[in-house]
Amino acid sequence: MTTTSFRSPLTERGLRVGVSIFVRRSGGQSMWENGIFQNCIFLVMLLLRSPIVSETYLVVGGSDATPADAKDFLAGAPVAIIDMNEAASKLDVMIEMSAQLAKEWTVAFRERGGKIVSMRVGNDYVIDIERMIFDKPQGLLISGAPYHEVWTLAEYERSCKPYYESTFRAPVRLMPHLWSPLVLDREMARLRPGQRFEYQPSKRRWRAGIFEPNICMVKTSFIPMLVCEIAHRENANILEQVSVYNTFHLKEHAGFNNFASHLDIVRHGIATFEGRFPFVEAVINHVDVIV
């Protein structure tokens, strides 16, 4: 496999790199809606530390929204926020992440010498198969955009790497998973100023929380629920409560109901099935251990 080098005479002044992020015109977004928004923040934080990058931006894309629409959602972002038009003339490298780039934009950007990467941090192979088979809304859009490279996580080497190579017709590079406590610490400081975000040993029985989104077979609560079930069967004094978040929509599903109703954590009144809540709010108020 050949890979694309991003070193050029431009690196003498440093590369100007953008990361796309989806912003709704109507506002009302939260960093806790999904993982990819936080991935965008962590990626630009990394780029700020690169010796060959001189400028880093978050690029508003995927809708009619403008940087002004992102002022609340991206308040405190570590880099400046620009729109697609400014990105087209300013950037040397564009990383598609949260907002997918239009094919026409990528073609024009390449023609003026820009490099384009698509960074995939979800299991698109499994998600796309399920969406096709079960008649769900479309997931990954294969637009024919001419990417120089696709970046994905090591956990998807077997499942997604060949899929991306075939569909995007571009070399795929495995990248490390990025994470920082920045977003978590900021939210904790807002909700509980002066308190530390950490486990406080005090309780004889734990309140467990399960936070899988339950949107596809690789993001389900089944295994964590079974882990709690085994723990409860072995020692009924371990768990006080098991809160299974993001499952409220499954409570009336016949298959899920049949599975859950045969578990002791349900039959003994320990498990509850909850909606979707901001992670920090759930953890600081209702959870001692995460499964």
Q: Are residues 24 and 151 in the same domain?
A: yes
Q: Are residues 73 and 196 in the same domain?
A: no
- Residue 117 in domain: yes
List pLDDT tens digits, range 191-215: 888 877 778 788 889 999 999 999 8
For residue 148, pLDDT over 90 is answered with yes
In the numeric block, which tokens belong to residue 32?
A: 């806790």
Q: Are residues 167 and 202 in the same domain?
A: no
Q: Are residues 142 and 283 in the same domain?
A: no
- Residue 1 in domain: no
Residue, of 141 and 91, whose pLDDT is higher: 91
Total count of domains within the chain? 2
Domain end among 153, 180, 207: 180
- Residue 2 in domain: no
**pLDDT score, position 1:** 44
Domain end among 180, 209, 244: 180
In angstroms, the Cα distances linking 128 to 138, 168, 189, 215, 217 are: 7, 14, 38, 12, 11
Tell me the DSSP string of 1-20.
-------SGGGGT-EEEEEE
Q: Enter the pTM of the model.
A: 0.88
Q: Are residues 74 and 128 in the same domain?
A: yes
List pLDDT tens digits, range 223-238: 999 999 999 999 999 9
Contact 117, 147 (CB under 8 A): yes
Residues of the chain with pLDDT > 90, as a percent, come to: 68
Lowest average pLDDT, out of 11-15, 69-73, 114-118, goes to 11-15
**pLDDT score, position 5:** 54
**pLDDT score, position 88:** 96
Mean per-residue pLDDT, 141-167: 94
Looking at residue 112, the DSSP 8-state letter turns out to be T
Contact 100, 62 (CB under 8 A): yes
**pLDDT score, position 4:** 53
Domain end among 180, 215, 243: 180
Q: What domain range includes position 252?
A: 189-290
For residue 260, pLDDT over 60 is answered with yes
- Residue 81 in domain: yes
List pLDDT tens digits, range 4-53: 555 555 557 799 999 999 998 877 888 888 889 999 999 999 999 999 99
Q: Are residues 164 and 214 in the same domain?
A: no
Instruction: Quote the CA–CA distance of 165 and 184 in Å, as a whole number.
Output: 34
